[in-house]
Amino acid sequence: MRYVSTRGAAPELGFADVLLAGLAGDGGLYVPAATPALPGLTGVHDYADVAAAVVAPFVGDDIDADTLTRLCHEAYATFRHPAVVPLVQIDDRHWLLELFHGPTLAFKDVALQLVGRLFDHVLAERSERVTIVGATSGDTGSAAIDGVKGCRNVDIVILYPAGRTSEVQRRQMTTVDSPNVHTVAIDGTFDDCQDLVKAMFGDAAFRSEMRLSAVNSINWARVMAQIVYYVTASRALAEAPTFCVPTGNFGNVLSGWIAREMGAPISDFIVASNENDILTRFINDNDMSTREVVPTLSPSMDIQVSSNFERLLFEMNDRDGGLTAEQLERFRAVGRLDVEADQRAEFIDGSFRAARCDDDQTIAEIRRMHAETGLSIDPHTATGVAAARRLGSDRPIVTLATAHPAKFPDAVRDATGRQPALPEHLADLFDLDEHTVALPNDLAAVQSLVRSVSRVGA
Ligand SMILES: *Cc1c(COP(=O)(O)O)cnc(C)c1O
């Protein structure tokens, strides 16, 4: 399997190189040169076995079948539910797909538990090491740390804004006691952390000296791993469902769209936004224009530039990388992206609907769900349930439950009057020692820390 860049000016690569590269050299995102058909899955029921079969054509010859199956089993053995991602029926036509039974309680574990193991395997084969650096406002950092904490060939440094994550989120990162895991509390905002990471990648000498790598949501391997649960959920229902996806970066819903392209029985998608509603405005009103990010109760969706949308745009442009690059350049310059009516007709109409859910509606939905079913849902999931209920479908609807309610206890307690309990494996989270370093918002200080902990070349 070969991969091409959405901006058409980077070399084609195989899976292992795409995995380690993250972003393409021309600033684009890697996509498979051709979308494979879904493999036959008769008699395959175990989630890890389905995962190995579904991702195999994307991995190609870069990892042998037995190794891939073993890595999938190891990744999904970390989930606390025997079904890994159980479907829970909430009324006669509506299901929740619970994606939060992984180690850090958010759907990012589904991808990152596998991606960490893929990294370690590929690096071991090549006798190489990398240093992963990343910035987090909460969920991504802990999921990335947990995905690589056992890796021998990866050191990871995660920057987070001091005092601006929830205590659960911070402790999930800082209490991991592993020699390759380093967390840094930056005296600044999430944007400052992100700028520091970008500056490290922009420093070519530092980048190659430290062999910097990233596991952010534009990494193809994350999109790939997320395809699997759309396959398992749609197979479990008698009729092709509508999937409702709480989204920010368009990563999760893009995986669903690819699953449908591969032949999974899926009717269409509902995109759920919070007040940062660029995707809803685009889908409903053809208005893809950026606005200021506003903080909401569903912080992992507080995004105004949905980076993974670039992969769908590339398809809408009939895989013309030059045109895609040009459009994105204009988008960056003027803050607005226009697509042709015939592109919308082919790719958006009939496939995507969207709804926006503000914080009041989010709280109301958590309360309503708790009153009607006894289930507690987190604020991200609540935006999805609210969108699904508002838009409806003549098909079964599956709403993706992207975080465990205990990850966002304040909103859930405000809505239901009850504090959701942490699962047993995190019950001692508040007793464990924290390992973290505090640094000013200063590139030289951060680079010197990365240099001191990285074992690249050691
Ligand atoms: C990251 C995240 C999302 C958004 O996922 P995208 O891939 O950006 O669409 C939604 N909910 C939770 C809980 C998340 O952590």
Distance from the alpha carbon of residue 381 to the mean position of ligand 1, in angstroms: 10
Q: Averaged over 238-244, what is the pLDDT?
A: 97
Asked whether residue 245 carries a pLDDT value surpassing 70, the answer given is: yes
Is 161 domain-assigned?
A: no
Beta carbons of 26 and 89 less than 8 angstroms apart: no
Query: What confidence category does residue 458 fall into, taking pLDDT thresholds of 50, 70 and 90?
Result: low
Q: Which tokens belong to 217? A: 């949501």
CA 181 to centroid of chain Cα atoms: 20
Least confident range from 66-80, 117-131, 300-314: namely: 300-314
Closest ligand 1 atom to 407 CA: 13
Domain count, the chain: 1
Distance from the alpha carbon of residue 205 to the mean position of ligand 1, in angstroms: 33
Distance from the alpha carbon of residue 59 to the mean position of ligand 1, in angstroms: 24
Rounded Cα distance, 457 and 210, in Å: 8
Please tell me which residue, 111 or 163, carries the higher pLDDT value. 111
Q: Averaged over 354-372, what is the pLDDT?
A: 98
Asked whether residue 355 carries a pLDDT value surpassing 70, the answer given is: yes
Q: Which residues pair with 134 in a beta bridge?
A: 158
**Residue 328, domain CATH:** 3.40.50.1100
Rg of the chain, C-alpha, whole Å: 21
Rounded Cα distance, 362 and 378, in Å: 9
Closest ligand 1 atom to 138 CA: 15
Asked whether residue 166 carries a pLDDT value surpassing 90, the answer given is: no
- Asked if residue 254 has its Cβ within 6 Å of ligand 1, the reply is no
- Asked if residue 6 has its Cβ within 6 Å of ligand 1, the reply is no
Q: Averaged over 249-270, what is the pLDDT?
A: 97
Coil, helix or strand at residue 357: coil
Q: List own/partner pairs for 22-28 with CB under 8 A and 24 or more apart.
A: 22/213, 22/214, 22/215, 22/216, 22/218, 22/219, 23/214, 23/218, 26/321, 26/325, 27/325, 28/310, 28/321, 28/324, 28/325
Q: Averaged over 437-447, what is the pLDDT?
A: 98
Tell me the pLDDT of the chain averaged across its residues.
95
Asked whether residue 110 carries a pLDDT value surpassing 70, the answer given is: yes
Asked whether residue 120 carries a pLDDT value surpassing 90, the answer given is: yes
Query: What confidence category does residue 189 fall into, taking pLDDT thresholds of 50, 70 and 90?
Result: confident
Beta carbons of 406 and 168 less than 8 angstroms apart: yes
Is 174 domain-assigned?
A: no
Predicted local confidence at residue 113, as pLDDT: 97
Closest ligand 1 atom to 252 CA: 7
Q: Tell me phi and psi for residue 105, to 5 degrees.
A: 75, 15
Boundaries of domain holding 362: 87-105+220-416
Query: What confidence category does residue 22 fall into, taking pLDDT thresholds of 50, 70 and 90?
Result: confident
Testing ligand 1's pocket by substitution, the residue of 140, 220, 247 carrying the most ligand atoms inside 8 A of its CB is 247
Q: Averaged over 371-398, what is the pLDDT?
A: 97
- Asked if residue 139 has its Cβ within 6 Å of ligand 1, the reply is yes
Predicted local confidence at residue 138, as pLDDT: 75
- Asked if residue 356 has its Cβ within 6 Å of ligand 1, the reply is no
Is 295 domain-assigned?
A: yes
Q: Averaged over 21-34, what is the pLDDT?
A: 92
How is residue 439 annotated by DSSP? E
With a pLDDT cut of 70, the percent of the chain lying above it is 100
- Asked if residue 300 has its Cβ within 6 Å of ligand 1, the reply is yes
Query: What confidence category does residue 25 fall into, taking pLDDT thresholds of 50, 70 and 90?
Result: confident
Closest ligand 1 atom to 253 CA: 9
Residues classed as catalytic: 108
Query: What confidence category does residue 101 fall into, taking pLDDT thresholds of 50, 70 and 90?
Result: very high
Predicted local confidence at residue 220, as pLDDT: 96
pTM of the full predicted structure? Answer: 0.96
Distance from the alpha carbon of residue 456 to the mean position of ligand 1, in angstroms: 31
Closest ligand 1 atom to 403 CA: 13
Q: Is 343 exposed, middle or buried (0-12, 13-18, 19+ CB in 10 A)?
A: middle
pLDDT digits (tens, 9 = 90+) for 294-311: 989 998 898 888 889 999
pLDDT digits (tens, 9 = 90+) for 309-325: 999 999 999 999 999 99
Q: Averaged over 345-355, what is the pLDDT?
A: 96
- Asked if residue 102 has its Cβ within 6 Å of ligand 1, the reply is no
Distance from the alpha carbon of residue 448 to the mean position of ligand 1, in angstroms: 31
Q: Averaged over 201-218, what is the pLDDT?
A: 91
pLDDT digits (tens, 9 = 90+) for 376-387: 999 999 999 999
Q: Averaged over 112-119, what is the pLDDT?
A: 97
Asked whether residue 104 carries a pLDDT value surpassing 90, the answer given is: yes
Is 272 domain-assigned?
A: yes
Rounded Cα distance, 88 and 380, in Å: 17
Please tell me which residue, 317 or 293, carries the higher pLDDT value. 317
Most confident of 17-31, 173-187, 208-222: 173-187
- Asked if residue 101 has its Cβ within 6 Å of ligand 1, the reply is no
Asked whether residue 349 carries a pLDDT value surpassing 90, the answer given is: yes
Asked whether residue 457 carries a pLDDT value surpassing 80, the answer given is: no
Coil, helix or strand at residue 256: helix
Predicted local confidence at residue 321, as pLDDT: 98
